[in-house]
Amino acid sequence: MIGESQRPVFPFSAIVGQAEMKLCLLLNVIDPKIGGVMIMGDRGTGKSTTVRSLVDLLPEIKVVVGDPFNSDPEDPESMSMDVRERAARGEPLPVAATKITMVDLPLGATEDRVCGTIDIEKALTEGVKAFEPGLLATANRGILYVDEVNLLDDHLVDVLLDSAASGWNTVEREGISISHPARFILIGSGNPEEGELRPQLLDRFGMHAQVGTVRDAELRVKIVEERARFDRDPKVFRESYRAEQEKLQRQIASARSSLASVQIDHDLRVKISKVCAELNVDGLRGDIVTNRAAKALAALKGRDKVTAEDIATVIPNCLRHRLRKDPLESIDSGLLVIEKFYEVFS
């Protein structure tokens, strides 16, 4: 569990309803290569609460001690330049296990705070590249969460697009250039009333979850009561969900370790691509993400083979934000995806 000295977080398993959003988040923790999730929905539907409650469930990863970029001691691709040089010299790298980090990107953040800064004075006087790492460095191999992502400044969106595309962040200042790995799960949430997201940024999110307000009166009462219990005594409330949280943690850990052995039949792959092609989805990202998400779901359910049912569960979330917008179309794009799915898979 999270250190109780920190601000107590509402437990993930205590969140009522919102199954689609919860599933998208869990699949991304199991397979970070899915590429994050965009959560769109009404105000006050528990979007930020759910994302922040993920902190408790995040698994541990191995990192090089004292490295600000959470370098992976076994994978040269996600090592910072400094660690890579030390490894090349044959130095033993001290390794520690640490929880995956979750970094909040505030809307008002400056570009320097996000990318990091180069200390020009130190560079000129001492001749060393003095780099002050930013939020992207902290988020490497972790989660970067942007609340109200559709209100984010355009220049920060460009920075995010850049590092999400290449997996590296490069800072150029006064003729000095520094690069470091910046591979993160990008999670964004927002309210569609406040404006649409730029298509390039939307396409960077692997999955897209729609969140609606709960209409069932009984469920609403349950949500209000649970929230009141949490506010009254967070420690006792978290304790009452400890067993469920630990069970979910074990499930995630076993899904992560068995993910590599999950198989998906060739004809299922062909059908996925056929759905994408017939829906006129731009690019191949939709096919790739649907395959990954279906495998992660099978792993979460403890199976080593993907079924058509797994694909039906994830395909609307993987494709709904990739369809071309038709201003005259009133039907929800998620329903269009499901209709096409049943047409192809029957």
Catalytic residue ranges: 285
Tell me the C-alpha to C-alpha distance, in Å, between residue 331 and each of 37, 99, 204, 338.
Answer: 22, 42, 24, 12
Provide φ and ψ at 190, rounded to 5°.
Answer: -170, 170
**8 A C-beta contact, residue 146 and residue 152:** yes
Summarize the chain as % helix, strand, coil (round to 5): 55, 15, 30
**8 A C-beta contact, residue 208 and residue 163:** no
**8 A C-beta contact, residue 105 and residue 83:** no
**8 A C-beta contact, residue 135 and residue 113:** yes
H helix or E strand, kind and range, residue 253: helix 242-258
Torsion of the alpha carbons at 243, 6, 141 and 303, rounded to the nearest 10: 10
Distance in angstroms (rounded) separating the CA atoms of residues 10 and 277: 41
Question: Would you call 222 helix, strand, or coil by DSSP?
Answer: helix
Distance in angstroms (rounded) separating the CA atoms of residues 259 and 246: 20
Burial status of residue 29 (CB atoms within 10 A of its CB: 0-12, 13-18, 19 or more): buried
- CA angle 215/218/219 to nearest 5° reads 65
Residue 37's contacts (CB-CB under 8 Å, 6 or more residues apart) are: 21, 24, 25, 28, 187, 188, 205, 206, 207, 208, 209, 317
- CA angle 341/345/346 to nearest 5° reads 115
Distance in angstroms (rounded) separating the CA atoms of residues 194 and 41: 11
